[in-house]
Structure 1
Amino acid sequence: MKKVLLIIQREYLTRVRKRAFIVMMLAVPLLIAGMTKLIAYVAKDTDQVSKPQTVKVIDESRMFEGKFKNARNIRFIPANESLNDAKKSLNDNEDLSILVISKDYAHKPVQFLSKKKPSLVLTGEVENQMNDIASNNTMLANHIDTALLNKAKKNKVSVNALEVTEAGTKDADVGASMGVGVACAILIYMSLFIYGAQVMRGVIEEKTSRIIEVIISSVKPFQLMLGKIIGVGLVGLTQFVAWIVLSILATKIGGQHATGGLAQFLVTLQNLPFGYILFCFLFYFITGYLLYSALFAAVGSAVDSETETQQFMFPITMPLLFTYLLSVTVLFRAPDSPLAVWLSMIPFTAPVAMMIRVPFGGVPDWQLALSMAMMVIGFLFTTYVASRIYRVGVLMYGKKANFKELAKWFFYKE
């Protein structure tokens, strides 16, 4: 045990004493905040056409004539010329487009011609206006008062989601829960890759420099692997704790000076069960890291250079990548769906899937307990498998390993 602690100490201190570690620990929260504001600023007008566009309308059906409305940076004009003449004018103007509406527009696709590929915003605006005009034409043909119908469509009903608890009702904070869930899933996904890769690189460096041969003479391979995994894990945990503390301070300071929507958002964040979410985040980070870093260490021991790791990395990281993609596209919309529940039970996918579900609340205690138990069993199993591969792999040189070879190493006797 003393030797393992010495390895942990070395792995931890050699990393946290680096200037880059301290700079990134302090700078990352600021970078994330800056990037968030920059993305919000850049994306503010992405639903609008950036340059003035002119759309010439050739309406063979006469059903849309004079009914298009100019939008922001989009101007509709009738084409008082033939289609061939209109096409010639495209060569001189990149900001000009031609909308050709056939007589049988309901069955024959409408054509949108331009010199360069049009933006989705532009074609979407044209399509929306055409659908509205076609709907109005149909209603007028059936003697329906379109003005009255449009007035009725303007009625807006807002739904305020409330959560019923033993203490009464409170705001469900669905938007904040979704944002926190996605953020936690992204952090877990990135951290497992980053710190797992650090373990793998450390093993490869020690193996290629032959330092491992000296170390193995003093400690068992399992002790070395365990010390390296825990040491790097503590580095990651230190960074996360620092980021959490800085985020809490920034939220409290920002909440005192924030106004408008930002102030409301910060108040909403404070209404979430922060302690519960933090406990689950740290648990799934630690267990997920132990599970994946053991496999990363086994991969590092099986190769002689980082370029040879690709054949092993993809099968290992595929479940994590698959869950991450589902989390940011599907799972946050239905955190209690059967897919989300099953993914939060499987050790290889649970760290990401469960962190999507936790901020929403409502995860049954038995599901959370079962998921945590499976995570513990999962990392114990992967650590055992990885250690048996690691003990052989770290002393293998010049031989390209494959999955069949790794299986042989696993069954080698002590």
Structure 2
Amino acid sequence: MNKLPLVIQREFLTRIRKRSFWVMTFALPLLMIGIALLPILLSQIGEDKQHVAILDHTGRYAELFHDSEGYSFVRSTAPLDSLKSQGIQEEITAVLEIRDDLSKDPPAVSLFSFKQLPKGLEAHINDVLSRYLTEEKIRSYDIPQLQEAIQQSQVQLRVPTYKWNEEGDLDTSSSEIASGIGMLLTFLSYMFILTYGGMVLQGVQEEKKNRIVEVIVSSVHPRDLMMGKIIGIGLAGLIQITIWFVLIFSGVQIAESFFLPEGAGAQLVGGPMGDLSMVQLIFSTLRGVDVVEILVFFVLFFIGGYFFFASILSAMGAMASSDEEIQQMMLPLVLLLVVAMYAGIGSASNPDGTLAFWASIIPLTSPVVMMVRLPFDVPLWQELLSLIILYLSAFAISALAGKIYRTGILMYGKKPSLKELWRWLNYK
């Protein structure tokens, strides 16, 4: 009697019955959103003012600086040494000293502080002084309306981008948004494959350490045990992915109804890009993304990539007899996935380049790298070719892993040598 369905059922139910599985399923997307929004929120609230004392010996520049949300400027006539002493006792962030006419002697300005200055303060001071000196230089030419002519001649052009859909209609397009979607899919693919592959490795090791596997294999074939564990845990992963995408899709739809008014996408096509805010432009662009195709291929590549790496990890778990051996054997695999993720990051700027193409074809990296290419309308033959190679490689690896698993799961005491592994692979 085939016991594979029973093993799959056991592994699947064991995972989804855990409270931690459902907590992470619903809490992790919210946590990721919170992590993304936290820096923005922190930059807008609770910001301490930077207090700057201005020591202007010329009397020409101090009036250029005005208090703002983040900066407070105080004019002073005290000597520099006195300000230094005050700064130690009071809340003075820095002292700006201007010693001479900056149009004639640009180095005659210094900014002193008691600690490393924040980047924004230095940039703000440089911008204020540079803008004033530029205007003063223009006025020195004594050409009527020269400054107005220069200002009017400055043009900032933003070229709107569109793409034709299958019906021949125009959709708003953005390479930045497509790259963002691709990077998110790349990270999710890397995270899911590593997480659920690690669960397979952990499950194999637990059964081997507890010696319960010796009882199980008396009624279940070792290959069925390995495949049941891989498939059962993979099904739990698919459940989690499905819930994540439902939550994300629902969240996007709700947010779109708030930020993107009806017909806003049509306003952008052929119209000025400034009609809508950047948030509205993002949602309008998302309408032109083939979400169904992306999700289908994401799931297919996750299944293939998970099957490929989980087979390798199950064989590693069967070979190892201690946690130290597991860490040593798993490190190259983790580094390989990290390399795949960085290859995906590098491919985002040129999704049709040589690196992106070959890294999305080779099965060791394709489940991760192909994710960054999906939003860029990859030719269907490349997607299918990558999937065929990935699945063929996964089946081949699982066959080899099954031969190692059936022998290694009952071996204890030492890590097998390459000669022993070769013997295991040739057992009939």
5+ long unaligned stretches in structure 2: 262-276
* Residue aligning to 2:380: 365
Shift of residue 223 of structure 1? 2.8
Number of aligned residue pairs: 404
For the 8 Å contact 2:360–2:367, the answer to whether it is kept is yes
**CA RMSD, 1 decimal:** 3.7
* Residue aligning to 1:226: 227
What whole-Å deviation, never above 9, does each CA across 1:68-108 have from its counterpart, x for those lacking one? 45443213445534443333232123442134578899997
- Residues in 2 aligned to 1:54 and 1:77: alpha-carbon distance in whole angstroms: 8
For the 8 Å contact 2:171–2:285, the answer to whether it is kept is no
Aligned AA (1:357): R
User: Structure 1's 64 and 364: CA in aligned 2 closer, same or farther, altered over 3 A?
Assistant: farther
Alignment of 1:167-246 (within 5 A): 167-246=168-247
Query: Does residue 291 in structure 1 map to residue 292 in structure 2?
Result: no
User: Structure 1's 259 and 107: CA in aligned 2 closer, same or farther, altered over 3 A?
Assistant: closer
Return the TM-score normalized by structure 1. 0.82
What whole-Å deviation, never above 9, does each CA across 1:181-221 have from its counterpart, x for those lacking one? 22212211111111011101101100100012222333443
What whole-Å deviation, never above 9, does each CA across 1:6-26 have from its counterpart, x for those lacking one? 22222112222334434544x
Query: Does residue 115 in structure 1 map to residue 96 in structure 2?
Result: no
For the 8 Å contact 2:172–2:284, the answer to whether it is kept is no
* Residue aligning to 2:351: 335
Shift of residue 157 of structure 1? 2.8
- Residues in 2 aligned to 1:61 and 1:340: alpha-carbon distance in whole angstroms: 59
Return the TM-score normalized by structure 2. 0.79
- Residues in 2 aligned to 1:101 and 1:187: alpha-carbon distance in whole angstroms: 53
* Residue aligning to 2:164: 164
* Residue aligning to 1:18: 18
- Residues in 2 aligned to 1:142 and 1:344: alpha-carbon distance in whole angstroms: 59
For the 8 Å contact 2:86–2:92, the answer to whether it is kept is no
- Residues in 2 aligned to 1:406 and 1:107: alpha-carbon distance in whole angstroms: 71
Q: Tell me which moved more, 279-288 or 31-40.
A: 31-40
Give the secondary structure class of the aligned counterpart of 1:125: helix
* Residue aligning to 2:371: 355
Which residue, out of 63, 73, 89, partners 1:92? Answer: 89
Aligned AA (1:223): D
- Residues in 2 aligned to 1:130 and 1:382: alpha-carbon distance in whole angstroms: 65
Q: Tell me which moved more, 181-190 or 119-128.
A: 119-128
For the 8 Å contact 2:29–2:244, the answer to whether it is kept is no
Q: Tell me which moved more, 189-198 or 77-86.
A: 77-86
- Residues in 2 aligned to 1:369 and 1:246: alpha-carbon distance in whole angstroms: 28
Shift of residue 280 of structure 1? 0.9
* Residue aligning to 2:274: none
5+ long unaligned stretches in structure 1: none
User: Structure 1's 88 and 202: CA in aligned 2 closer, same or farther, altered over 3 A?
Assistant: same
Shift of residue 173 of structure 1? 4.5
Give the secondary structure class of the aligned counterpart of 1:56: strand
Shift of residue 265 of structure 1? 5.0
Query: Does residue 9 in structure 1 map to residue 9 in structure 2?
Result: yes
Shift of residue 393 of structure 1? 3.0
Give the secondary structure class of the aligned counterpart of 2:348: helix
Shift of residue 391 of structure 1? 3.5
